[in-house]
Amino acid sequence: MAVNDLTAKTITSTGFVTGSSSNAQPARVKTIYYVASGTAGSIVLKDGGSSGTTLMTIATPASATATEVVYIPEGGVRFRTDVHATLTNVTSVTVFHDG
């Protein structure tokens, strides 16, 4: 079984986790760590930029001090083009991925 290096990227607003609008960078998301805000919100991960296909949606609680680690089973979730995160009422999210 091949072992890939994991990369972590933290974002504090909506944007690309891997790649960019002009540079594709496929990845497999393995784990997500987030810090919630005082209002309930969500993290939406899309493949193919901001208008791409939604592959994951995580609801976040209304708590300015809540943190959560989301472990993705098996091999993670494969994003074939790039990973784009839309953050709504989330202080920050760290995405651990390989690829």
pTM recorded for the entire structure: 0.92
Task: Provide the token pair at 72.
Answer: 């993705």
> Do 19 and 82 contact (CB within 8 A), yes or no?
yes
**pLDDT above 60 (res 1):** no
- Per-residue pLDDT tens over the stretch 57-68: 999 999 988 999
Q: Which residues have CB under 8 Å from 41's CB, separation 6+? A: 59, 60, 87, 88, 89, 90
> Can you tell me the mean pLDDT for 1-22?
87
> Do 64 and 40 contact (CB within 8 A), yes or no?
no
Task: Provide the token pair at 41.
Answer: 């919100």
- Per-residue pLDDT tens over the stretch 45-89: 999 999 999 999 999 999 988 999 999 998 899 999 999 999 999
* Cα gap 71→30, rounded to integer Å: 7
